Amino acid sequence: MRKSSKYLLLSAVCAVLSVVPAAAQQDWPSKPIRMLSGSSGGGGSDVLGRIFGEYFQQQTGQPWVMDNRPGAGTTVAAGLAREASPDGYTFFVTQVGAHGIVPNVYASIPYSPLGDFDPVARLVIQPNVIFVRADDERFSDLEDLITAGKAEPKALSYGVSGVATTTNLTVAMLGIKTGLDPLMVAYKSSADTVLGLLRGDADFAVENIQMVSGRSTDLKPLAVTTAERSPQLPDVPTVIEAGVPDFNLASWFGIVAPKGTPPEILEKMAGIIEAATKDPETLKRLESLGATPAFMGPEEFTGFIESEIATWGEIATSANIPKQ
């Protein structure tokens, strides 16, 4: 009887313990969320994180707190996210660099894009823009630029914010498709790139749409890099429309969690993100950034990351981008 009582007591304790994690997941979130970002305050992932964070707090009553850890091509923040507890209270606002480009161009990084993370949701996409100075009469469209560049290789130069970025690799892809081979002028930031172009340091530049839209007085956009035109620049053709086939490159942002985060929490977070991409106020704020909602849930986002790693890897290899 005593043994039976012990067994019954042990079974009851095990049953209670097995219920605790499930109950915790049902109550999620019961405290603030830590949201790591690889950009500094005011940077792309920080701003987008705050927009979605405000909607999250409205729906759950819990804030998510941005934890900005810039450095080493977003690998500092990614490394911290990798080491965090998979309890559903730490996430990482990732983007095309951390989960698409960096794995292909850095010799060593402190994380595996999919081995160390559970994808939660893709948030938005943003096109890059190929542009020149507004008063540069040599180029009325992208075809003019490509023709001039091919007529005299290395005669043109282009400005970008850093090596092995979406902007740099956009030009590399353009070269693969058209034979264009301009000289690169690398700057520390997007703002420096625009200023350099206006000074005459480069003939053209490639930057995120945020840096170009609304600047018709000093910048002339020639093409956007996505497959479809941007609502922010509806009169600007895509690279495909400008005569370069199969060209579709975009910056994107998403959320991932440390590997092993409970699937129920991943799905619940993804559901809140999806609802945010349909919220009128959130949409208005995203539109002001040139960001187009492009929601994907955990499974679809996982497949997308796999394809992005392959795509940017092919570009880096074809363009002979050296590993850093």
Are the C-beta atoms of 38 and 77 separated by less than 8 Å? yes
Per-residue 3-state assignment (H helix, E strand, C coil) for 211-267: HCCCCCCCEEEEEECCCCCCCCCCCCCECCCCCCCCCCCEEEEEEEEECCCCHHHHH
Beta bridge partners of 255: 93, 121
Whether residue 160 sits in one domain with residue 132 = yes
Q: Which of 123, 146, 135, 105 is nearest to 47 (CA)?
A: 123
Does 187 reside within a domain? yes
Whether residue 131 sits in one domain with residue 53 = no
Does 15 reside within a domain? no
Does 96 reside within a domain? yes
Does 78 reside within a domain? yes
pTM summary value: 0.85
Whether residue 170 sits in one domain with residue 98 = no
Q: Using CA atoms in the order 41, 311, 204, 201, what is the torsion angle rounded to 10 degrees?
A: 60
With residue 92 as reference, give the H or E element that holds it: strand 90-95
Give the pLDDT confidence score for residue 20 in this predicted structure: 43
Report how far apart the first and last C-alpha atoms of the chain are (Å, whole number): 69
Does 243 reside within a domain? no
pLDDT along the chain (324 residues), means of 10: 53 51 71 93 86 97 93 85 97 94 89 96 95 97 96 91 85 94 90 94 93 91 95 94 94 97 98 97 92 96 97 90 80
Give the pLDDT confidence score for residue 282 in this predicted structure: 97
| CATH (domain of 132) | 3.40.190.10
Whether residue 69 sits in one domain with residue 100 = yes
Give the pLDDT confidence score for residue 11 in this predicted structure: 55
Amino acid at 45: S
Whether residue 117 sits in one domain with residue 143 = no
- The encoded tokens of residue 158 equal 């282009």
Whether residue 163 sits in one domain with residue 174 = yes
How many C-beta atoms surround the C-beta of residue 308 within 10 A? Answer: 20
Q: Is 205 helix (H, G, I), strand (E, B) or coil?
A: strand
Does 198 reside within a domain? yes
Whether residue 86 sits in one domain with residue 49 = yes
| Full residue range of the structural domain in which residue 149 is found | 127-224
The total number of structural domains that make up the chain: 2
Whether residue 163 sits in one domain with residue 103 = no
Distances, alpha carbon 194 to alpha carbons 94, 209, 211, 218, 323, in Å: 25, 12, 8, 10, 26
Amino acid at 146: I
Distances, alpha carbon 259 to alpha carbons 73, 80, 104, 116, 171, in Å: 21, 13, 21, 5, 34
Does 93 reside within a domain? yes
The residue whose two tokens read 């690279």 is: 239
List, as one string, the DSSP characters of 273-292.
Answer: HHHHTT-HHHHHHHHHTT-E
Amino acid at 68: N
Does 11 reside within a domain? no
**Cα within 13 Å of Cα(18), Cβ side:** 6
Are the C-beta atoms of 166 and 96 separated by less than 8 Å? yes
